[in-house]
Amino acid sequence: MPTENSDILAEAGHKTQETEYYSPIPDGYVKGKHKYVVVMGTVMSGLGKGIFSSSVAKLLKDKGLRVSPIKMEGYLNIDSGTLNPYRHGEVFVLDDGMETDMDLGTYERILDQNLTGDNFTTSGQIYRGVLDKERHGGYLGRDVQMIPHVTGEVKYLLRKLAVKQNAEVVFVEVGGTVGDFENAFYIEALRELAFEEGPDSVCFVALTYVIEPRALGEQKSKAAQLGIKRMMELGVQPHIIACRGRNPVGDKAREKIAMFSNVPANRVFSMHDRDSIYTIPEQMHAEGLDIQILSILNMHSRVRPAQEDKARKQWSRFVNALTRRRKYSISVGITGKYAELRDAYASIDKALEHCGAHLSADIDIKWLDTIAMDTAAPESIANTLRTLDAVIVPGGFGHRGTEGKIASVKYCRENLTPYLGICLGFQMAVVDFARNVCGIPDAASSEFDQNAANPVIDILPEQKKIEGLGGNMRLGGKQVQLTAGSLASILYDNQTEIRQRFRHRYEVDPKFIDTLEKHGLIFSGRHPEQPIMQVLELPFATHPYFIGAQFHPELTSRPLHPAPLFMGLIAAAIRHAYPEVPAEQISERWLPFVKEPIQS
């Protein structure tokens, strides 16, 4: 039986010109002004689409073009916040609080620009947007279908991103592999986008894999050919093919792939394994990949050579520092419960790589499982940590491994080992200090013990109201006030206010702050208005480097601008490993507070 709403919508639909097209255009969108580079994977997942896409985007940005990436995930989650690190790696938090795939971290680091939630979407977001629009009569009574409405939503999202971020080139990374059910509607939407935008508007790149079985001793391209054929069956003709492999992909394999994909051989590139992802942009430029993309998109006239020369010189200096022989060799322990899965701490790994290049240090990362340390004897923990020049206790959730982290903090504090605590590592440093310095043996976090007698780390009712948090996490970029003259302030160029990214629920309970401070703990970073402690440290007159941050400094570390807390840690670790070397010789910038080695 017709309803009032259905009659209204039917009348509206009758008055609207009947058409099978549904491709809404956002206000301000100018066809031809914005171009698109679409990167899809074939053969298998995990080929490094984000690394490839961000590297090409950097080359075009260096030429003076405004670029904006977007990662399109196939899963139905609204964001990446609840994904298991074992399945999906770390959760990367953007400045606006969006919890995303770790590939967004790669984009931010290589492009050296902050992204927003507009640069990330999931099938869940797309479907929710379509259904919300349908409930509000946005389709004028039409039956809502995958084509044209869901695909139309994808096209609208991309065009809106181009307008909002004023991007000349939008880099679209389609998650998963061509042939997956969950990303098929993305691929169809992108096919439609290329059709609607016209020639020279969209460049399709197929990232594939060339197998090299050890038993055969030669490269086999059949899987790559079949994967690209699947892409072509979906109506997408690639313009460029990037071949991943352990070793440089030879002419024979590339010629076969070119023949069966209708792609000229000079547009089939080898993207073999490299020691560092940061060497990839220069390799791409040397092989002319950026020139080919500019030709496909007809954008050579927009290039600014002077800007490109300056950007490439800056990057080359970093890459040279990254690849040359280092002066120092140090060992850094990362104590976490996902120690066997490096992707869970990808941003920390990269932050250390940045610091190693800038301070000429080979950093041997020791991944230590704190779950095993929970029940280990103090002597065993000491024997493990004694060989390290610095320790990082990273963020995390859940009770497992926390006692091992507290034991690690205690060892570093008592034995003058440089220490950096991040988020949970900050909180565990508070618990250790309360227990072992302030004499509160039952100090704990209410996250792990709801009945704790002295929850020095707690989630407080008055803090839940701050910034509309409710029961959710405190996410994204927030201001941090630093105490002038503190270690934290010195590391951040003597600034007294900085912006950093957070991802946590629990805080230092304000009623314990006086006790902690009276016993020597310094809270050198605080919320500008509320009693939220955000940085702690020990006096650098009594400890060479002991600092903790409630925020995640690794999320904003960039190759050309490494995170200050990590730079200070690595400089202190070099000093720990080479006490005979004068501090100013290691780094005047990052060891300004060290005069003589501190005696325990």
For residue 397, what pLDDT is reported? 72
Q: CA 460 to CA 529: how far, in whole Å? A: 16
How many whole angstroms separate alpha carbon 119 and alpha carbon 107?
10
50: left (phi over 0), alpha (psi -120 to 50) or beta: alpha
Task: State how far Cα 352 lies from the chain centre.
Answer: 14
DSSP sequence for 39-58: EEE-SSS-S-HHHHHHHHHH
Q: Is the dihedral of CA 168, 114, 111, 248 positive or negative?
A: negative
pLDDT of residue 215: 86
Listed by start position, the domains of the chain span 33-318, 325-587
Q: What is the mean pLDDT of residues 452-457?
A: 92
Closest CA to 99 of 499, 503, 552, 506: 503
- Between 452 and 362, name the one with better pLDDT: 362
Q: Are 480 and 551 in contact (CB under 8 A)?
A: yes
Burial profile 63-99: b = 16 or more Cβ within 10 angstroms, e = fewer: bebbbbbbbbbbbeebbbbebebeebbbbbbbbebbb
Predicted confidence (pLDDT) per residue in 169-226, tens digit? 999 999 999 999 999 999 999 999 999 999 999 999 999 999 999 888 889 999 999 9
Chosen CATH of 325-587 out of 3.40.50.880, 3.40.50.300, 1.10.287.70, 3.40.718.10: 3.40.50.880
Which residues, 6+ apart, have CB-to-CB distance to 97 below 8 Å?
117, 475, 476, 477
Q: Which tokens in the block code for residue 202?
A: 């969209």
Catalytic residue numbers, as ranges: 423, 552, 554
Measured CA to CA in angstroms, residue 457 lies from 125, 444, 451 at distances of: 34, 7, 12
Banded model confidence at residue 377, pLDDT cuts 50, 70, 90: confident
Tell me the CB-side half-sphere exposure of residue 476, using CA atoms within 13 A: 13
Tokens for 132? 């919300």
Question: Is the distance from CB of 52 to CB of 39 less than 8 angstroms?
Answer: yes
- pLDDT for 10 beyond 50: no
Do the domains spanning 33-318 and 325-587 agree at the CATH topology level? yes
Nearest to 573 by CA among 420, 348, 392, 418: 418
Measured in residues, the chain has a length of 600
> What residue has token string 């910034």?
467
Q: State pLDDT tens for residues 395-446.
A: 877 677 688 899 999 999 999 999 999 999 999 999 999 999 999 999 999 9
Chain-centroid distance, C-alpha 12: 45
Task: Record the tokens describing residue 423, joined without a space.
Answer: 């988020």
What are the structure tokens assigned to 303, written together? 């290039």
**Alpha-carbon dihedral angle through residues 351, 353, 355, 358, given to the nearest 10 degrees:** -140
| Nearest Cα residue to 359 out of 318, 418, 312, 391 | 318
- What is the pLDDT, as a whole number, of residue 18? 63
The string of pLDDT tens digits covering residues 31-69 is 999 999 999 999 998 899 999 999 999 999 999 999 999
Displacement of CA 29 from its chain's centroid (Å): 29
CA gap 502, 483 in Å, rounded: 19
DSSP H helical ranges for 117-150? 123-135
The Cα 583–Cα 589 span in angstroms is 10
Report pLDDT for 468: 47
Return all residues near 231 (Cβ < 8 A) that are at least 6 apart. Answer: 40, 42, 178, 187, 206, 238
SS3 category, 335: strand
Give the C-alpha separation, 356 to 418, whole Å. 16
Q: What does the mean pLDDT of the chain come to?
A: 90
The token pair that represents 148 in the structure block: 């044209």
User: Under DSSP, is residue 38 helix (H, G, I), strand (E, B) or coil?
Assistant: strand
Burial 313-325 (b: 16+ CB within 10 A, else e): eebeebbebbeee
pLDDT band at 374 (very low <50, low <70, confident <90, very high): confident
CATH class of 33-318: alpha beta
- pLDDT tier, 599 (very low <50, low <70, confident <90, very high otherwise): low
